[in-house]
Amino acid sequence: MQAFLASIHYSEWILHTLLLLPLAGVVAVLLSPVPWARWLAAAVAGTELLLSLGLWWAFDAANGEVQFRFHADWIPQYGIGYAIGLDGISLFMVLLSTTMMPLLVVGGWNSIQTKQRGYYALLMALKTGMIGVFVALDLFLFYCFWELLLIPMYFLIGVWGGTRRVAAATQFVVYTFVGSLLMLVSVVAMVRVVGDATGVYSFDYAYLLEHRALLAPSAPWLFTGFALAFAVKVPLFPFHTWLPDAHVEAPTAGSVDLAVILLKMGTYGFLRFAVPFFPTFALSEGTATLFTSLAVAGIVVAALVAMVQKDIKRIIAYSSVSHLGFVMLGIWAGTVESVQGAIIIMLAHGVSSAALFFLIGMIQERRKSRLISDFGGLATYAPRLTTAFVLTSFAAIGLPGLSGFTGEFLVLLGSWGRYPIATAIATTVVVWSAAYLLWAIKRMFFNPLVHEEIREVKDLDSRELVVVVPLVLAMLWIGLYPKPFLSRTESAARHFVEQVAPHYPGQPAALAEAAQ
Amino acid sequence: MTLDLLTPVGALIGLLPEIVLTLTSLVVLLVIAFRHETIDDSLLAGRLSLVGIALAGVALSGLWYADITAAPGMIVLDAWRFAGSALILGIGFFTGLTSLRFLTQQRLFAPEFHVLLLFALIGMLLMTAAQDLMVLFISLEIMSVSVYVLVGFDRFRRSSAEAALKYFLIGAFASGFLLYGIALTWGATGATQYGPIAVKLSASTVFTLAKLGLGLLLIGFAFKVAAAPFHMWAPDVYDGAPTPITGFMATGVKAAAFIALGRMLMIAFPALKPQWQPVVGVLAVLTILVGNVVALAQHSLKRMLAYSSVAHAGYLLVGIWTGSEMGMTAVLVYLASYCLTTGACFGILLAVERLGSRTVLIDDLEGLFSVRPWAALAMAVCIFSLLGFPGTFGFIGKWNLVTAALAEGNWILPLALVAGSAISIGYYLPVVMAMTLKPTRAKEAHRQVQFSPAMRSLIALAAAGILLFGVWPNEVQSIASLGAKALVDLQLSALVGR
């Protein structure tokens, strides 16, 4: 496989193609007749997935550095370039988004009846933005992709969403826009600080990272700018309030993209930018305590809030907050295991929450409701649906053998040495999430039948199985045989740890900086 | 080629665009002396003036490409002037074109409209060239007096007359400040040309008189660009003026004033930079905050755009504040992006207003997308650009401003700018929301939203330009930096050369 990929110069064109293909799809969909829209979208999505699969083999697992690197000048006056690349952290995020795309198209095949062209065009524009965020290695480019995502998401929620969609869409955009404006100032200021010292003003990620020592004096301000933008996206407690509303009001595709990709952009931002750029400040005692306690608070509070929700979609939304808290803990712990665990949770949560949101979408299409009290006894009438839902929930809870377990276990293992108390509290989440998910499952699927309409509910048809089965298989794969995933993330995690480890309080780099 | 501006030929060539416009306006005046009654007469005058503006554009580009220079006298030939003039001619052409149908629709068959527009343009072009406080004042008055009349041109509406009166009174007041400032500066330095003023100010200890003069000049300009706290007139005047003129004021008048202000502060008053910088900085922060916060409360689209243009004047002041080459580049880029976007916005607004026959509330846009998708799309592009979204020209402009201010080591102004943008989402987003997310209430009203072919292509071009320059700003950027560099070179040569 590697030989074949090398023979077609795969590594040279793949990332550009992945970025441009959906954009071409946007134009094609907008210009073609309405009935073609979903077919075109499916074609683009399928091609994109097929092309991206090559990354699995072309990616050199032993290499912790950025691969598939490409750099071209864009706005040379300001040192802005079109720099892209891929490493073990972004590889799975890119694969995750290319995998989701065909599923989203197939999953929404019949449910989107209005304004199909716009819907599929936005879906594809969203995809370019998502892949762009994960491959961009120029801070200007990154910021552009980061912000561009807002527009398609705004319209996806606002046009095809639920009854309170306009409010939810507005809240989403305002929150994230305001958050990221501060990042903009940080980015510009950072380039300024480095440029003033070295004479070269460049937004290139590698260049800035190389000279990060120059950033140390202004690190508190710069880090805050980045951290606020990312924390809103993660969402870190207490910035999470936009998420449940956005999730509940968004159409299924919007929810899936939100949960699978958009939330990961926040944790990815911490992993890629905020922590490596300002390690000494980020890992100093005060900041670390703040972030780990916010992460743990998020884990626990979100789990508790999830327990009392009446709407199943809201439960899953809060569970996302809870899971992403784990990722944050893993990043701050900064051991190879915990960072790898964080990346694997990002992947596993992507798969399981996608499946859950798809299933909820299917349930909602059948019953026209998501309130738990409107269900009961579904298991008898929709056994396949029930099996899939229960399996996915187990994966989300973190049952051994399923995807959720691998990452959470690694994070707990890796974080214990560094933050024992936080880790101990975080561990209890397994209990919490089991509680709210199993309780919801019991009430929806197994309680005695009270609503006669449940009898009418059809089981999953073959189209829906096409969406759900691959996700379930992926959960089993990550849970039972995580080696391919671990081997591909290990070097990147190690690279990250090597960068930040000397900056923990008491470590040489931190001491040197304090001495200055 | 180097001109001697003191010879008649030199002056003729150096002022070629202005002269072309003047001749055109005389021709149009002559024509309308005989034909001034029917629609066709008005259209004829309009078309003639458009031809004149285009010819002036040709003259300007001739000067620019032939790389004609001259030792600076009362006027200058440099890239800063050329870039500013090009922008203003573009705005003039757009305004002339949008006015054609507006005037016929409103049954304002007065071809004088076009002559006045030409006069205003002459004043603006001279403002970009002025290197002398007296030339500056005269050109500013040519512009202002023409615009006073244009604001009150819709004689069937009382609000238009009210706006004209307000604008006239405030404008006269501002001119008074300006003139007194000029007098005091002259008293302190014995010169009205920028070069000698700069030399005089840098050579000796600065007189209080000069500071006072500069202060008054700044107040005069603050009135003209509607910077807080001298912005009170702007919303009423913008609201009352005929929509094409509102667009003209929000873009052209503002651009001319900023080009002239930049040159004045950079060339004549570099020695007083420690004095004017804090003043401009405070004006900028105030303007950003006031403009944005008050815009939040507006329901009428036109009024909202009026306040937002106040806010944008604040952003531009951040660029002026820097007084650096980078900052001046940023001012030019931002002016280009702001004028392109705002011009397109007013073009669409005009169509939605059905050429001035109603006031458009933001709620009236509800569901525009489902009836007039392209218009709504173009409007959305404009709004995102005003908001400063990446991928649009507006973002490049803001990026330039933030970078320039941070380069001077200032944190407060960039943060104010960013905070202003954050607030502005509160009034920009509802426009997009109304157009796309809300259900259609008035389908019939939307159906009557129509564009002439010329308008349609202009607005499509503008929207495409906003997106294109948002992704590929290199050419604009290099032209702007040429302009800024010319200004800085002139600043140096004015101080060193004598």
pLDDT in tens, B290-311: 999 989 888 889 889 988 999 9
Q: Closest Cα of chain A to B69: distance in Å?
A: 26
pLDDT level of residue A200 (50, 70, 90 thresholds): confident
- Give the tens place of pLDDT for each residue, B214-257: 999 999 999 988 898 888 888 889 988 998 999 999 999 999 99
Q: B427-449 b/e with 16+ CB inside 10 Å = b? A: bbbbbbbbbbbbeeeeeebbeeb
Q: Indicate the pTM of the whole model.
A: 0.90
Six-digit token string for A483: 């080696």
Residue A134 CA, chain-centre distance (Å), reads: 10
Q: What percent of chain B has pLDDT over 90?
A: 51
For CA atoms B362, B366, B372, B378, give the dihedral sign.
Answer: positive
* H-state helical runs in B77-111: 79-105
Give the C-alpha separation, A163 to B345, whole Å.
31
The pLDDT score that the predictor gives to residue B180 is: 94
Residue in chain A lying closest to B434 (CA): A166
Q: Most A CBs within 10 Å: which of B399, B411, B466, as the mutation test of the A interface?
A: B399
Q: Residue B169: its pLDDT value, please?
A: 92
Cis ω before A235 (30° cut-off from 0): yes
In chain A, where the domains are located: 305-484
Q: B 339-398 residues with CB below 8 A of A? A: 384, 389-391, 395
A138 strand-pairing partners: A204
Kindly list the residues from chain B whose CB atom is less than 8 angstroms away from the CB atom of residue A178: 422, 425
The torsion defined by the Cα of A4, A8, A12 and A15, in degrees rounded to 10, comes to: -80
Q: How far is CA A175 from CA A10, A147, A151, A168, B286, in A?
A: 39, 12, 13, 11, 24
3-state secondary structure of B388: coil
Phi/psi of residue A73, each to 5°?
-70, 145
Count Cα neighbours of B332 within 13 Å in the Cβ-side half-sphere: 31
Residue A44 amino acid letter: V
- Of A401-415, B151-165, B193-207, B322-336, which range is least confident? B193-207
Nearest chain B residue (CA) to A75: B474
Distance from CA of A487 to the nearest CA of B (A): 36
Residue B355 pLDDT more than 70? no
The pLDDT value given to residue B498: 47
Taking CA–CA distances from A161, the nearest residue in chain B reads: B437
Asked if pLDDT for residue B391 goes beyond 90, the answer is no
The pLDDT tens digits of the residues spanning A320-357 come to: 888 888 889 999 988 888 999 999 999 999 899 999 99
pLDDT, tens digit (0-9, with 9 covering 90-100), for B18-44: 999 999 999 999 998 888 778 888 888
Report ipTM for this prediction: 0.85
Any idea which residue has 């209005």 for tokens?
Answer: A114
Q: What is the pLDDT of residue A117?
A: 83
Cβ–Cβ gap B403/A192 under 8 Å: yes
Rounded Cα distance between A319 and A429, Å, is: 10
Query: Which of A23, A140, A184, A194 best tests the B interface by mutation, with the highest count of B CBs <10 A?
Result: A184
Of B418, B438, B474, nearest to A185 by CB-CB distance is B418
